[in-house]
Structure 1
């Protein structure tokens, strides 16, 4: 029986930063998806991973990401990447979250973030409003581990007081869904909101779309 619905933030509740990455690449004459390729090299120890665990500060990330990207052929300051992270709230996902809450499910936000970004702060009222709706929020920059490390999901379950097999988890990255599924969670990969909400409706048996 499902008792909890766990949500990624950027790329699920918010529009994906990958769109902003692609716009940046096009504007600067870079290969498509180059930024994502930098983040997949040494994914557990690269600049992005260190920043999300709060092992380095944004200034150190700026330098380290530039070094890593230069080694792959194109230098990009890390500060440029941080400026691309803010997305906009998807109204259909916020409405679905409201419906899940109204139906009595436990909710948690599981986000890989950095200390300086808006997903962990109250700089944006629209983001703060959505964050306040969750029963629990697990932020990589605060707990010191990040998706897809299994401990991150264990922390979420401990906070929510549930077992993994009582959870549904939505994320836009397959690499983040794989360990959750291995632990026993039902998982939904989110691209466009519509198909993802159809899947969630099937699992929960409640209407989530107008």
Structure 2
């Protein structure tokens, strides 16, 4: 679903909502690590339990971008089946990526002139032996529970009626009869007016086109609601329509936030293990009290 370059250039010239200091019309949420548990926690736990150098798993997954096995799955180009797990495991055990990972961290000198790169790679310890299939399902399990701070905040934002609430998530399509085939829990999914799933649209973050696609969908949703009954337009209390500068985007990955800023969105970083700070930022942006009474001390 391509967005032409002129549209991208136009969006890049907009100022972010945060910079303008105005209240956003739309709040756009990542899912994993924001609204539900973080799959990165499962990765960290696996590395610690198996004495794997911290950061290796993320590096091995991201290094083949944009056409690694994981990236293709999240664009819906391949199925979640035995072939995926075979390719995923190969990425996790890539000797080339392992050598680069060790070079970057100073654990091995890069091959010097006249030294065969393959020989240098063979001198390293072998890449960690990772059970890719087990790790994948553990990541999905950890990311299946609503976050105890962001999910209640999400419900309050939805109930306020002041904002369009949308999701933009890198996703996978589970086998039809799998327990996870319905995606995120119904109670979380029901909070969103618009939900953009990477595996269903053939684009994934941080590709700029998926952000612009999300804005098009949000804009279309608001305009259709206004055409039918005008309710959402009245709730927003502003001009009909959504532009990138009307959106605040929340994500836990820096590269995804960088692209959001590039296309003109305001951003909030959600830190692993510290979702509360992101909720506090949402309170500042929206003017609403989003932390519960039991969480009031967390504002200090």
TM-score for the superposition, normalised by structure 2: 0.65
Q: Does 1:61 align with 2:88?
A: no
Q: Which residue of 1 aligns with 2:155?
A: 98
- Which residue in 2 is equivalent to 1:89? 146
Q: Any gaps of 5 or more consecutive residues in structure 2?
A: 1-22, 99-126, 220-241, 293-300
1:122 — aligned with what? 182
Higher relative contact order (CA 8 A, sep 6+): 2
Match of 1:30 in 2: 52
Distance 1:123 1:199 in 2: 27
Alpha-carbon distance, 1:172 to partner: 0.5
* Matches for 1:53-202 after TM superposition, within 5 Å: 53-58=75-80, 59-71=82-94, 72=98, 73-85=127-139, 86=141, 87=143, 88-104=145-161, 105-116=163-174, 121-122=181-182, 127-161=185-219, 162-191=242-271, 192-202=274-284
Residue of structure 2 in register with 1:8 after alignment: 30
Q: Quote the Cα distance in structure 2 between the aligned partners of 1:186 and 1:123.
A: 27
Partner-residue secondary structure (3-state), 1:14:
coil
Bigger Rg, structure 1 or 2: 2
CA contact (8 A) 2:61 2:92 kept: no
Distance, in Å, in 1 between the alignment partners of 2:187 and 2:157 is 16
Aligned residue runs from structure 1 range 29-48, under 5 A: 29-48=51-70
Is 2:282 the partner of 1:208? no
Cα deviation for residue 120 of structure 1 reads 7.4
CA contact (8 A) 2:166 2:193 kept: yes
* 1:43 positional shift: 2.0
CA distance in 1, matches of 2:287, 2:190: 25
SS of match in other structure, 1:134: coil
Stretch deviating more after TM superposition (14-23 or 164-173): 14-23
**Deviation per CA, 1:168-208, whole angstroms, max 9, x where unpaired?**
11000011111111111110010112111111111111111
The 1:180–1:35 alpha-carbon spacing in structure 2 relative to 1, beyond 3 Å, is same
**Cα offset for 1:29?**
2.9
SS at match of 1:100: helix
When the two chains are superposed, the root-mean-square deviation of aligned CA atoms in Å is 2.0
